[in-house]
Amino acid sequence: MVSATLLSLVLGTTLTIIFYENLNVPISNSVLLLMAITLFFPLGLSYRSNLLLAAVSLPLVVLPGLWLLAQAQQVDYLRLCFIFSLALLICAMGAYVRDHTQREQFLLLRLLDWQANHDPLTSLHNRRSFTQHLDLALRQGNRESATVPLLMLDIDHFKRFNDHYGHQAGDEALRQVGRLLQHFARRPMDMAVRLGGEEFALLLYGCDAEQLRTLGEALRSGLATLNIAHAASPTADHLTVSMGARLAMDGESSEELYRRADALLYRAKQAGRNHLTLG
């Protein structure tokens, strides 16, 4: 629709100029310049579409003048066409710069948004993103009468792991745990989170208590399969996690759910670690 309108404008302007030339009435070159600018005006078309319109409009401007004007008038008209061609070239360059700048700004905004909502080490969502999403999940759960379970976990004796193997090995262990958690958060409302340090969380929308318990055991089993050696741990010879999980109650706020899940995590640690406490 926009393309047809612009081409009609080009043809109409061209015929108007030819009409004025036949009457020997002076006409400003600015008419063609304005038409060139209009072809590249940001009207929702892509740069390629604008370029194609410009390529089609050039013969629409030149050929009618050669057909309808007398030879004596064609010299001045071809001069106008030359000016129009230069204007198209300049406008095309300006439109390219505009389009390129807009693309860069879009990508930069996407990058900044990702950095603001994700943990740079594990690529999981961060605490800021988690807080916003938990509020959204609770509101949606109330509307749909769906369960909203929160599972919090903490790597057992992680300070000893860092002291024994070094911080580089500790970072790699965090990345492996992050990848394992992401494996369980695949649905749109699910979320795997690194809250900070060695503390993580899983939000699994719609899971019931039994599914949550099964998932916790699957996490323990998956971590055992990774077999990340932890010689400094008094709990096991490999990296383990303690977990606290809770289903949100009706009317429970995100702060209350988080606090109670965190208390369950603390109870799991008191129970000897490498353990899931479900409340």
Residue of 104, 144, 172, 198 marked active site: 198
Q: What are φ and ψ of residue 203, in 5° steps?
A: -110, 120
- What are the residues whose beta carbons fall under 8 Å from the beta carbon of 143, sequence distance 6 or more? none
| CA dihedral for 38, 41, 43, 45, sign (positive or negative) | positive
Helix 127-144 vs helix 254-270: angle between axes, to the nearest 10 degrees? 110
How far apart, in whole angstroms, are the C-alpha atoms of residue 263 and residue 245? 9
How far apart, in whole angstroms, are the C-alpha atoms of residue 220 and residue 48? 54
How far apart, in whole angstroms, are the C-alpha atoms of residue 207 and residue 245? 11
Give yes or no: 21 in active site: no
Active-site residue list: 198
